[in-house]
Amino acid sequence: MLYLIRHGQTNLNKTRRWNCQSDEDINEEGIKQAEAAADAVEKLPLDLILCSPLIRTRHTCEIINRNHVPVIYDKRLMERCGGIITGQPYEYYDHDLYYNLNTKDFPEGMEPLSDFMGRVHELLKEVEEKYREKNVLLVTHGGVSRCVKYYFEPIPENGAINKDSKTQNCEIRAFAFGVGEIKMEEQV
Amino acid sequence: MSEVNKLPLTHVAATIADLFDVERPALSEEPLLFVEDAVRDLCRKPFDRLFIQNPDCMAQWMINKYPDAMYPVQKLTQIAVPLHSVMPSVTPVNFGTIYTGAMPAVHGITEYRKPVITIDSLFDSMIRAGKKIALLGQKSCSMSNIWLERDMDYFVIENEGERAEKVRDLIIEDKHDVIVVWTGKYDTYDHKYGPEDPHSVAAFYQQGQLFEYFVETIKRNWKNHNALIGFMSDHGCHAVEPTEENKRHLGDHGTDSPLDLNVVHYYGVVTEKE
C-alpha cells in the first residue's frame, strides 16, 4: 500500500502564494495539522517513509513519525520548481496553465510539467518494483500529489491534472498498486 | 516517547562494511538492506571515502523537540534510520556495538569501562582492505580508548573546536580513506547542566552545525571521490529529578527507557559530480 500526506500549512499557503521550491517551514497551524494527522499515521502499519527534502515536509515528517519508521529523503518528491512565480500571489500565474501538460510556454525558470511528472512517476515505478509488498508513506507536496494520482489514473486528453486532484495540508491519501486510490476511511 | 525503536545498533557495522565493499566484521549482525538499497540508488559507483561523525548522546526525543537542530544534518543526508541502543545505554558499550555489529556480551564491554575491544571491528575490516583510517577524539573518551592497538592514525584533541579544525585539515590533506570523529560536547553539558539547559541545547545545535562544516569541507575538497557520510550517535538521555544536593535536572543515561535508548542515524553521499 502506498500512502501520501501533504505537508502542514506554511505562511505562503496561508497568504495564497506559490510555494514551489521555496524552503519555508510550516507555521503554527501547520504544526497543529501535523499533530492531528499523526494520530492517523500512527495507526498505519508503515515499513518506510519517503520524504521530500524541503523543510516543510521534513518538519511535518518529524511530527507524524511517532512510530519511528526509517525515512529516506528523495529529491524527486520535491515540489515543482516554479521559477519566477515562486513566492508570488496565486493570481500571478494561472492555475489551469500551471497544471496542464499541454502548456508549452513557461515563466522563466519553471520546471516543465512533463519533467516534474516524469521524476515523480520514475520514483513511483521504483517504489512499485521494490516495495510493492510493503507499506510506504510519501511525505510530499500538493503538486506531487497530483502527479501521484495520475500514476494510478489515465491522464485526461486535454492534459489538465488539476481537476479533483488537490490534497489539503496534512490530508492523507491511500493507493494500491494495480488498483488505484483507496478511501482512507477504509484504512485507518 | 513511549516505545523503543525497532532496530538495534548491531546492524550498523555490516551496513557500512557492505556499502564500502569491505568484509563485514566477523561477529556483526545482519546489515540494513533497505539502507544499502537506498544508498546505492544515490551512488552507483564504489565509495572510496568514508566520513562519520559520532556525536555523543543525541537523543531522539531531543531531535523531535528541537527539529531545526538537525536541519543541517538532514539537508546533507538522504536517509534517517531510527535505531535503539543496546543495554546498558552508555557510551563505550554502544560505540563498541556500532563498530563491531555485536552485542555487548560478544564485544566484551558490558558496563561503563573502556578496555580495548579485541574482537573484529569495522576498523579491522577497513585495515585488512588496505584503508588508511583517522580516528579523532578526546583523551578520556571511549572512542579514543576502545579502538587502540590498531594500525590507524589516532588524533587526541581535548577541545572540540580544535578537533573540528583537525578534521578540516585531514579532509583537505586527503590522505585518509576513512575519517571518524567523536564529538561529545552535548553529552558533557547534559551531565553538567541537564539535557535542556540553554548551554546544553546550544551544544546540541552545534553538533549539527559541525556536521555541516565537515560535509561542506568534503564537498569542496573531495571532488574526485565518492564519499559515504554518516551522523551516528550512541545513545539518548533523560533528565533526573533534582536532589537536595543538586537542584538542577541534570542529565543521565544508562537505563532501558526509550529516552535513553532511541537515536537516529543519518546516512548520505557526496559524489564526484558534486
> Number of Cβ pairs closer than 8 Å across A and B?
46
Q: Taking Cα atoms as reference points, which of B137, B70, B234 lies closest to residue A61? A: B70
What DSSP assignment string belongs to A151-185? HHSPPPTT-B--SS----TT-EEEEETTTEEE-GG
Return the residue of A nearest to B263 by Cα. Answer: A68
Residue B64 pLDDT: 86
Cis peptide before B88 (omega within 30 of 0): yes
* Cα separation, A162 vs A97, whole angstroms: 10
Q: Which helix (H) or strand (E) holds B136?
A: strand B133-137
Residue B46 pLDDT: 94
ipTM of the complex: 0.72
Return the residue of B nearest to A59 by Cα. Answer: B67
Q: Is residue B205 predicted with pLDDT exceeding 70?
A: yes
Q: Is residue A186 predicted with pLDDT exceeding 80?
A: no
Rg (CA), chain A: 16
Alpha helices for chain B (secondary structure H): 12-19, 33-42, 60-65, 71-76, 91-100, 104-107, 122-128, 142-146, 160-173, 185-193, 198-221, 258-261
Residue B244 pLDDT: 73
Q: Which of A58, A70, A126 sits opposite B34 (nearest CB)?
A: A70
Asked if B64 lies within 8 A of A69 by C-beta distance, the reply is no
Residue A163 pLDDT: 76
Return the residue of A nearest to B72 by Cα. Answer: A55
Q: Which of A62, A69, A74 sits opposite B67 (nearest CB)?
A: A62
Give the Å distances, CA to CA, from B203 to A144, B12, B82, B160: 37, 25, 21, 11
**pLDDT for B253-266, tens place per residue?**
999 999 999 999 99
Q: Which of A24-28, B172-176, B208-212, B247-251 has the lowest mean pLDDT?
A: B247-251
In this structure, which amino acid lies at residue B28? S
Q: Which of B7, B64, B75 sits opposite A62 (nearest CB)?
A: B64
Q: Which residues of A touch B81 (CB under 8 A)?
A: 70-71
Confidence of residue B241 (pLDDT cuts 50, 70, 90): confident
Which residue would you say has higher pLDDT here, B104 or B64?
Answer: B104
Distance of CA B4 to the CA centre of its chain: 19
Asked if B37 lies within 8 A of A71 by C-beta distance, the reply is no
Q: Is residue B237 predicted with pLDDT exceeding 60?
A: yes
The single residue listed with the C-alpha cell 543526508 is: B77
Residue A72 pLDDT: 94
Average pLDDT over residues B174-179: 98
Q: Taking Cα atoms as reference points, which of B141, B79, B85, B102 lies closest to residue B259? A: B85
**pLDDT for A123-166, tens place per residue?**
999 999 999 899 999 999 999 999 999 999 999 999 999 877 78
